[in-house]
Structure 1
Amino acid sequence: MNEQKLYESLVQGHPGWCSLLSQSLWTVRGKDRIRYLNGQLAADISSLPIGSSVHTAALNRKGRIDCDLWIANQGETIFVDGPKEIEEQIANRLSRFLVADQVSIEKIDGQFFLYHYFGPHPPKGFTLCFQNKRFGIEGWDIWSDTSLVDFGCPEVPPTVQESLRLENMIPQWDKEITEQTIPLEVFLTKQSISFTKGCYVGQEIISRIHHLGQINQLLTLFIALENSNPQPGQLYYESRAVGRLTSCGYSFGYNKTIALGFIHREHRKEQNRVESNGCFFKILKAPPPIG
């Protein structure tokens, strides 16, 4: 099956799979695990259903992202994954505020292997399946204690994974997400950031920005207006610097190059034309801040 047909098959709900080798794996256990994580993460972990996972972040006291994480609720154990390139940051951030809490945090790389299975229904034979939209469409994260090479369906190559990620505006560490990122700029669902749970690190800043509506830039989707091979860089509108591109790639859905990036709110209007490194783009999606 070629990549275009595989992409179409996945979007139609047919199965596929990929390994998530770039993720560092952790478990959080102990009777205080939910309370402790709720004090560290922007999402409300107490409302996360068993068998589901959510993309969220641990923040610093200035409301900026220390590390982005996927949190999966198994019940007795919380499974956590985040980018391997910042695993030391993750370790420090997860354990920094542990004092008398009955919480055990363990790095389990090598003990478990993480996979993503595309489709509305989980694969059979796996106990640790967590529903999410990691790539923007229905799917499941599979935590396995053995290395797997076949799920009985097509393996999804990085080009198709990236097409789905870009089209569905899924932010990625060191591209859309850095230590300077405010989560309101990139996390656009109420599941990722809670405004109703109790206090967590960085919550005061996030709440103030949210209620005052002072988000100057938001993650935005762009489509190239010509056949080109653009690279991340500064964005211009009528010769004025107004933002930046962070990721570029071919879209099997649009059959063109698309990009993610940030643009100042006054220029964040659909159909606006912007330029980067001699390549012209049109704004496709400029979603409002989460409510």
Structure 2
Amino acid sequence: MTTPSPLLARPGAVEGGGADADVASHYGDPFREQRLLADGQAVVDLSHRGVVTVAGPDRLSWLNTLSSQLLLGLEPGRSSETLLLTVQGRIEYSIHVVDDGATAWLVTEGGEAAPLAAWLERMKFMLRVEIADVTERWAVLGATRALPELGDDVVVWQDPWPSIGVGGYAYSTVEDGNHPGRERPWFEYLVPREALGDVVDRTGLALAGSLAAEALRIAAWRPRAGSETDEKTIPHELDLMRTAVHLAKGCYKGQETIARVHNLGHPPRRLTFLHLDGSQHTLPQAGSAVLSEGRTVGRVTSVGHHYEMGPIALAVLKRSVDATADLVVQDGEDVYAAGQEVIVAPDAGQVVGRASGFLRSPR
């Protein structure tokens, strides 16, 4: 677990909750912070993230055998995303990966670094790898642009979303050039935790809170581990096949399910984007039920207030839900009308034998 961020001592800081506890939700003006972050004029404190390092000459070939992404030959400074899956193909860990030529840096959600490091330790056998949970020594700083003022030697992960990686596949219904994720480039910088405040000052940029970062993430249709995922989630449901899975790499745990659903079946659920009715001036809580014709068909997974679009959300619905159906979100006594914008297509999967469809491989 991480300790509260020293940036919570900055003027106006209001501590977040849930997955974003220990960092500021905002510093007094969430919408201004969101605009600045979107324009590349702010950074966001992500020091509640977990950081694990894997060093040693076998690190990339070993991680490659364990995870869903092709990591062999990952060049220094090049970013990737990978998943550790159960035998049933369900997401166990979602990992941001960047290698500096000597060490692979793995960034996870807060609280997952220790169990991830322990899991990796059990898997290393006689290989030449050294694993460490370095969360207490390294912090993460987020931005929507490169920060050359931090120097050339800083370790930075650049989000591959929403590009379709080599070996990946898109399950969304939009043309790649029109994907809303194109409007949100994303960088995560690894900085010494004790120097976090000094690093922020060196950028000369404003501070934005987690509310700003979350609204931009939701608008970009970007899934987040622990928010869009649960104990049953498979990558196909969240369009993670585009960035986190290589369909032609060697064997890894969960591969059989990945291939079977992709080639012959359909994922049971699908990620969707919701435009929420903002007339109530409140937002539903994550976990609220999504209803169609009075029947619960899914759950809201993330909620935000976008500075241009207003109230927005991500939700995971049953695959069978009509893509044109009117939906409502129910949070206790409060009910919100919700217009859906399809992310993962209802007919996603079953690629073998298909002459056409929504699914696309890389150009």
Tell me whether the two structures share a fold, i.e. TM-score over 0.5.
Answer: yes
- Rounded to whole Å, the distance in 2 between the matches of 1:262 and 1:234 is 10
Aligned to 2:111, the other structure's residue is in SS state helix
Q: Is the 8 A contact 1:217 1:262 kept in 2?
A: yes
**Between the two proteins, what is the percent identity of the paired residues?**
24
Task: Tell me which residue corresponds to 1:4.
Answer: 31
Amino acid at match of 2:218: L
Unaligned runs of 5+ in 1: none
Q: Is the 8 A contact 1:126 1:142 kept in 2?
A: no
**Match for residue 257 of structure 1 among 311, 315, 318:** 311
Higher strand share: 1
Aligned to 2:266, the other structure's residue is in SS state coil
Question: Residue 92 and residue 64 in structure 1: after superposition, are their counterparts in 2 closer, same or farther (change >3 A)?
Answer: farther
1:248 aligns with 2:303: yes
Amino acid at match of 2:341: L
Task: Tell me which residue corresponds to 1:274.
Answer: 327
- Rounded to whole Å, the distance in 2 between the matches of 1:253 and 1:56 is 32
Question: Residue 189 and residue 205 in structure 1: after superposition, are their counterparts in 2 closer, same or farther (change >3 A)?
Answer: closer
Aligned to 2:206, the other structure's residue is in SS state coil
Question: Residue 114 and residue 34 in structure 1: after superposition, are their counterparts in 2 closer, same or farther (change >3 A)?
Answer: same
Task: Tell me which residue corresponds to 2:178.
Answer: none
Task: Tell me which residue corresponds to 1:138.
Answer: 185
Number of residue equivalences: 288
**For 1:85-234, what aligned pairs fall within 5 Å after superposition?**
85-120=111-146, 122-133=148-159, 136=181, 137-145=184-192, 146-149=194-197, 150=201, 151-228=203-280, 229-231=283-285, 232-234=287-289
**Match for residue 292 of structure 2 among 212, 234, 237:** 237
Unaligned runs of 5+ in 2: 1-27, 162-180, 349-358
Cα deviation, 1:201-260, whole Å, max 9, x if unaligned, reads 111111111111411212111011342321232211112222111122211230x21111
Cα deviation, 1:70-97, whole Å, max 9, x if unaligned, reads 1112122100111222334312332232
- Rounded to whole Å, the distance in 2 between the matches of 1:287 and 1:183 is 11
Q: Is the 8 A contact 2:85 2:93 kept in 1?
A: yes
Question: Residue 5 and residue 258 in structure 1: after superposition, are their counterparts in 2 closer, same or farther (change >3 A)?
Answer: same
RMSD between superposed Cα atoms in Å = 2.4
- Rounded to whole Å, the distance in 2 between the matches of 1:268 and 1:98 is 46
- Rounded to whole Å, the distance in 2 between the matches of 1:10 and 1:19 is 12
Question: Residue 56 and residue 219 in structure 1: after superposition, are their counterparts in 2 closer, same or farther (change >3 A)?
Answer: farther
Distance apart, 1:173 and its partner CA: 3.0
Amino acid at match of 1:143: L
TM-score by length of 2: 0.72
Question: Residue 94 and residue 227 in structure 1: after superposition, are their counterparts in 2 closer, same or farther (change >3 A)?
Answer: farther
Q: Is the 8 A contact 2:83 2:93 kept in 1?
A: yes
**For 1:8-23, what aligned pairs fall within 5 Å after superposition?**
8-12=35-39, 14-23=40-49
